[in-house]
Chain A
Amino acid sequence: MKLLNNTALIIAFFFLCSYNSFGQFDLDFVKHLSKNQFADEHLAYLESSALPVDSMAYFKAKYFIQYEKDSLFFEQCESAQNLLTTDTLFLRYLDNYFLKKKDSNRDQWFSLRNAIIPKDTVGALVYYSLASNPSLTDTTLVPVMLRNDFKNYARAYKKKPIVALLLSTVLPGLGELYIGNLRASIAKFGSQTIFGLQIVESIYFVGLIHPLSFVNIGFFSAFYVANIVGSYRDTKTKKHDLKNQFLFHVSDYYASMYPASIY
């Protein structure tokens, strides 16, 4: 009788344990929650499901990426590694997603991806590696649709900010011309020339010791220094922007060429 009582108690305990969770995990239902963007219900369902650690991490990683919680996604990645490697569609989605993201998250994802599948020689990973040093690559290897962006980026990559700074010091606008900003170069050279002419004219007609000459010299100097600093900064910004533009288009290119999805 005592044994029967104990058995009944154990059964009751396990019954309550199992009743607490929502029972069998249904992928279609998860897809439904994901499609309708029921974020709270989605997370509650995952947490109430009796899934193994790696599967739980895998589904949570998918959940966090859908709601763009990148840091939480990375927390789940370690446990979900094995499942991630087998899910090509999701891997592609992640590649496309992180190619458009800010630098730190993009770098974190691709270093992680490299660690998961080190022998992957196709796909976005190649272009990500390419973007870190475009001068080494033959442009004919890049797809035609991306070639123009790549060429622009490769050209900007070669430009050195310090050279732009020195050129702007020698002649205002020359630094901008060096990095390929023709309009900015003409504008800067033109405005600086006008300031110079104003100084010459004011010194000639009213003399050097005159408020007008001081004002003109002051404006000329301020613009001259601003041009130099601007050229240095523009070189860096252009390089960064063209890299992002190239990777953005790589992402679009892959999204249009190969199917990718979270589920």
Chain B
Amino acid sequence: MFRIITLLCIQLQFINYCYSQDSLTIQLLALEKDIFYSTSDTVKNSLMVQKMDLMMKNKSDNDLILKNCKRIDDQFIPDSVEKSRFLWNASVIAYLENDLYYALHAIKEYQIVSNDSSITCESLKFFIYSNYDTEKTKIIVSDLIKRDSIFEAYECYSNAQSYEVRQVQLKKALSYILPGSGMVVNGNWTKGLLSMSLNSASALAIYYLISNQLYINSLAWGSNLIMKFYVGNINLTEKLINQKQVYRQKKLAKKCELSINDCLLKYPINYKFPSQGF
């Protein structure tokens, strides 16, 4: 009886141990312990890369992966294959986390270490640069189109990003001269005409008050209405111009989305894990 109970207890403990070892956090903790107790910088950094790989494989939160990634000093990764793999992953994760400066730094380092000028690499560079360097983006896109015409989709995306609404200054000036006309020219007919009528009604009301010698009323209502409707019309025109720009950019980008998806299916940008190789 005693033997059976003891054996059952051992079995339970073993199952518990096995399950706990399976959990990601326990594995990450074990790696972190190794990192902490390791005295060699090379071993430390190699373990940190292992930890990053584990997190990526298990789809941990991108911000946690990036935090871990930023601890790694690539100078202490002696193996060039391992180093370029790390730099690639760092660039991808930084791009996904919108840390573009780090992403750009990592991809540049990656290209120095690996001499990689593959389509996938240029494609990742395109996504990073498209956020802030239009000229560089255009160069990358034209290079990619030369290699495969499927990348014309990127040109469309790049154009969408740099799209600007026409005659912005004219629309703004019109809203100062004739309230509501700026909005009408921008394509917002209802709002423009409403603003025009409200401003006209206000002007008429003030004229009526003055003609009836109601000077205090004309001054008080005039200042209130002018502030509300005239200045409001100027602000609204600017807001609507900006809204139009964002809307058109999104619409154009949406048009390109399907073609970009085709590009990414053909040349996928994925993390690089040790077994994959190059």
Q: Interface residues, chain A, CB within 8 Å of chain B? A: 5-6, 9-10, 12-13, 16-17, 19-20, 22, 28-29, 32-33, 36-38, 40-41, 43-45, 48, 194-195, 197-198, 201-202, 205-206, 212, 216
Question: CA A45 – CA B215 in complex, angstroms?
Answer: 78
Question: CA A225 – CA B36 in complex, angstroms?
Answer: 66
Q: Which A residues are CB-close (under 8 A) to B67? A: 36-37
Report if B216 contacts A (CB, 8 A): yes
Q: Which A residues are CB-close (under 8 A) to B194? A: none
Q: Are A205 and B29 in touch, CB under 8 angstroms?
A: no
Q: Which residue of A lies closest to B37 (CB)?
A: A29
Report if B14 contacts A (CB, 8 A): yes
Residue-wise interface mask of B (196-226) relative to A, using a CB-CB cutoff of 8 A (1 in contact, 0 not): 0000000000000100111111001100000
Report if B16 contacts A (CB, 8 A): yes
Supposing A16-B13, A17-B13, A20-B13 touch, asked if A33 and B32 sit within 8 A by C-beta, the answer is yes
Q: Interface residues, chain B, CB within 8 Å of chain A? A: 2-3, 6-7, 9-10, 13-14, 16-17, 20, 25-26, 28-29, 32-33, 36, 67, 71, 209, 212-217, 220-221
Supposing A29-B36, A41-B25, A41-B29 touch, asked if A10 and B6 sit within 8 A by C-beta, the answer is yes
Q: Which B residues are CB-close (under 8 A) to A12? A: 10
Q: Are A6 and B214 in touch, CB under 8 angstroms?
A: no
Supposing A41-B28, A41-B29 touch, asked if A13 and B213 sit within 8 A by C-beta, the answer is no
B223 to chain A, nearest CB (A): 10
Pick the residue among A6, A13, A32, A33 that contacts B13 (CB under 8 A): A13
28 A-B contacts (beta carbon < 8 Å): A6-B2, A10-B6, A12-B10, A13-B6, A16-B10, A16-B13, A16-B17, A20-B16, A20-B17, A20-B20, A29-B33, A32-B32, A32-B36, A36-B67, A37-B67, A38-B28, A41-B28, A41-B29, A43-B25, A44-B26, A45-B29, A48-B20, A194-B216, A202-B214, A206-B212, A206-B214, A212-B209, A216-B217
Q: Are A198 and B220 in touch, CB under 8 angstroms?
A: yes
Pick the residue among B32, B212, B217 that contacts A198 (CB under 8 A): B217
B6 to chain A, nearest CB (A): 4
